[in-house]
């Protein structure tokens, strides 16, 4: 039997097959690097200590600041995937809560559009193509800006996305209202020895966080390039086949290709020359961009589902998906609404063609001036309470601790952060989401109702079932050198207690804080278990 001759076509086929295998192996390596970098980032954040976590909390407690942080970081990195991965790491490490993370995600969705806008300005010397390029480059901008215009107020005033994502997560994981503890968790047990070694040997967790950021960004860039090569989507002409006239198919192609590449930056930027050169029109490209916006959320899901602290991490991933998907529901099914971002983008394209500086002014206003203006006018929207407490242990020792409450004065939602001592700069031990609604205070899993004397409600914690009743409403109470009005006194009795010990809590309705906690035993004077020792407000 004669051997098969090695023709040039066979050699090329073998070479291409081997090249594809190498690309697939490299993609797997980039994916492992991504997981390792994300794990290293989470661990380094958990080890930073001192005032780092408190600084992050303070910076993100104002939703407008969080929106700007997400927008600016993403605009600088030109990668929303990197920003959302960092946010997942922050939530998983307990540095920020879900409520603080969602505005950052919104900002990241707007910030990522700067790349396609910059790409469109590269056509400024080509008069015939410039108008179409600007329209295609800014369509993604207007889609996300309009979506944020609708959803940010709903989140700001009502906690829409945070409540909905937490509710969805509760069907699959433990409630996200549980406290976030500073304990180290790893995406994969195989990373543990390496990361623990780095943490022990590296002198600074800040340096570790910087290395993790570089590795994270690099892994995403490598992943993009490899996938792009594998799909052979380098040129606009080759990419043009993903824009069928059927708008649903165009949306589906945008979703699938972006999910594969894990970058809406690439897919939306490639749209610009395709529309500019009339390979496809903006009507065909619009649904593709919407699909790309949904497809990019896969990165947050990958980062979240592999995290040991899954519930809060998956909640922010769901919130990211909901933001983009609700945007599609708003602007895709109804033709009139679908036309809105397209009309704005085309209008800007015509204006930019007439006045060439319009494109640059648009970037400065949208990505820098407007966010700073929003922050300035909402600088007083967050109220911060810095409280000191003294806790009496069973041995009779007095242990100080600190509680910092940051609450949005309009939405009455925020964060309740506990520190194990009363020294500023200590890292938080617990971070609870906090909400005040209909005279009900919710801090983590705990609930308190400001109501009339005799009003009771049932509850359950690690000690068992209990009944809480309002026994008195004091018009005034002196504590920590301050005079507090409207103090509600509630008594808690456990159903399965072997003795008759009860707990009495003095809660101030003005600031929604605990003033004093007493332990009541039959025949004995009340024992003050906790009391407020310092009251500070910003």
157-202: pLDDT as tens digits? 888 998 899 888 888 765 444 333 444 444 444 566 777 777 777 7
User: What's the half-sphere exposure (Cβ side, CA atoms, 13 Å) at 140?
Assistant: 35
pLDDT of residue 233: 45
520 Rama class: left (phi>0) / alpha (psi -120 to 50) / beta: beta
CA dist 55 → 34, 61, 86 (Å): 26, 10, 16
**CB 501, CB 516: distance < 8 Å:** no
Count of CA atoms in the C-beta half-sphere (13 A) of 11: 4
Predicted local confidence at residue 186, as pLDDT: 44
Residue 367: DSSP 8-state: I
Question: How far is residue 444's CA from residue 333's CA, in Å, rounded to a whole number?
Answer: 38
For the chain, the domains span: 56-176+236-377, 382-537
The sign of the dihedral angle between the CA atoms of 18, 24, 27, 29 is negative
Cα–Cα separations (whole angstroms), residue 376 to 64, 108, 363: 9, 20, 19
Q: What is the DSSP letter of 463?
A: T
The rounded distance, in Å, linking the Cα atoms of 433 and 443 is 6
Which CATH topology does 382-537 take? Answer: YmcC-like fold (2.40.360)
Q: What string of pLDDT tens digits covers the 538 residues of the chain?
A: 455 555 555 555 555 666 667 766 776 777 677 667 766 766 665 565 444 555 555 556 677 778 887 887 777 666 677 778 778 877 776 667 788 889 989 988 888 887 788 778 878 888 778 888 899 889 999 999 999 999 999 988 888 998 899 888 888 765 444 333 444 444 444 566 777 777 777 767 677 777 877 776 677 567 656 655 554 544 555 555 666 677 888 888 888 888 877 667 777 777 888 888 888 888 888 888 999 889 888 878 877 776 555 677 888 889 999 999 999 999 988 888 889 999 999 999 899 888 888 888 888 888 778 777 776 776 667 788 989 999 988 777 889 999 988 887 777 877 888 888 777 666 677 778 888 888 899 887 788 999 999 999 998 877 788 899 999 999 999 999 899 999 999 999 888 755 578 899 999 999 999 999 999 888 788 888 999 999 988 7
- At 389 the pLDDT is 94
The predicted pLDDT at position 344 comes to 92
What SS3 string covers 86-118?
Answer: HHHHHHHHCCCCHHHHHHHHHHHHHHCCHHHHH
pLDDT for position 249: 85
Q: Render pLDDT for 46-57 as a digit per residue (tens, 0 to 9).
A: 565 444 555 555
How far, in Å, CA of 57 to CA of 69, rounded?
Answer: 12
* The predicted structure's pLDDT at residue 50: 43
């Amino acid at each position: 039997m004669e051997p098969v001759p090695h023709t040039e076509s066979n050699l090329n086929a073998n070479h291409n097959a081997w090249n594809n295998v190498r690309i697939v192996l490299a993609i797997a390596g980039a994916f492992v690097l991504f997981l390792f970098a994300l794990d290293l980032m989470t661990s380094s954040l958990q080890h930073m200590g001192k005032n780092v976590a408190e600084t992050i909390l303070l910076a993100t407690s104002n939703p407008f600041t969080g929106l700007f942080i997400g927008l600016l970081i993403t605009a600088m990195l030109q990668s929303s995937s990197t920003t959302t991965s960092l946010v997942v790491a922050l939530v998983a490490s307990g540095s920020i809560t879900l409520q603080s993370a969602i505005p950052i995600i919104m900002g990241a969705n707007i910030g990522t559009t700067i790349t396609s806008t910059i790409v469109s300005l590269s056509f400024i010397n080509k008069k015939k193509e410039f108008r179409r390029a600007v329209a295609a480059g800014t369509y993604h901008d207007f889609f996300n800006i309009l979506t944020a215009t609708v959803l940010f107020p709903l989140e700001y005033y009502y906690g829409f996305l945070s409540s909905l994502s937490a509710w969805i997560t509760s069907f699959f994981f433990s409630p996200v209202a549980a406290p976030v503890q500073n304990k180290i968790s790893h995406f994969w047990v195989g990373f543990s020895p390496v990361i623990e070694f780095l943490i022990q040997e590296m002198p600074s967790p800040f340096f570790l966080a910087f290395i993790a950021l570089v590795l994270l960004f690099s892994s995403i860039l490598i992943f993009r390039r490899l996938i792009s090569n594998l799909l052979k989507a380098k040129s606009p002409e080759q990419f043009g086949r993903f824009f069928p006239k059927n708008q649903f198919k165009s949306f589906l192609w945008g979703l699938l290709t972006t999910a594969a590449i894990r970058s809406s930056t690439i897919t939306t930027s490639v749209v610009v020359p395709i529309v500019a050169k009339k390979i496809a029109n903006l009507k065909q490209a619009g649904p593709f961009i919407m699909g790309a916006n949904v497809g990019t959320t896969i990165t947050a899901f990958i980062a979240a589902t592999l995290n040991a602290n899954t519930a809060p991490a998956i909640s922010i991933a769901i919130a990211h998906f909901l933001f983009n998907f609700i945007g599609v529901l708003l602007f895709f099914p109804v033709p009139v609404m679908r036309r809105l971002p397209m009309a704005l983008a085309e209008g800007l394209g015509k204006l930019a063609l007439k006045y060439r500086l319009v494109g640059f002014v648009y970037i400065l206003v949208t990505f820098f001036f407007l966010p700073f203006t929003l922050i300035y006018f909402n600088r007083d929207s967050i109220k911060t309470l810095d409280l000191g407490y003294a806790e009496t242990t069973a041995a009779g020792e007095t242990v100080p601790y600190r509680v910092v409450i940051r609450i949005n004065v309009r939405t009455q939602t925020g964060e309740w952060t506990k520190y194990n001592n009363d020294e500023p700069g200590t890292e938080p031990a617990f971070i609870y989401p906090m909400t005040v609604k209909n005279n009900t205070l919710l801090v983590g899993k705990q609930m308190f109702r400001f109501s009339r004397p005799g009003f009771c409600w049932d509850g359950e914690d690690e000690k068992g079932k209990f009944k809480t009743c309002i026994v008195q409403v004091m018009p005034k109470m002196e504590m920590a050198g301050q005079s507090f009005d409207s103090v509600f006194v509630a008594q808690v009795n456990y159903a399965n207690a072997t003795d008759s010990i009860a707990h009495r809590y003095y809660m101030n309705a003005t600031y929604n804080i605990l003033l004093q906690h007493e332990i009541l035993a039959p025949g004995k004077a009340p024992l003050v278990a906790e009391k407020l020792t310092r009251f500070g407000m910003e």
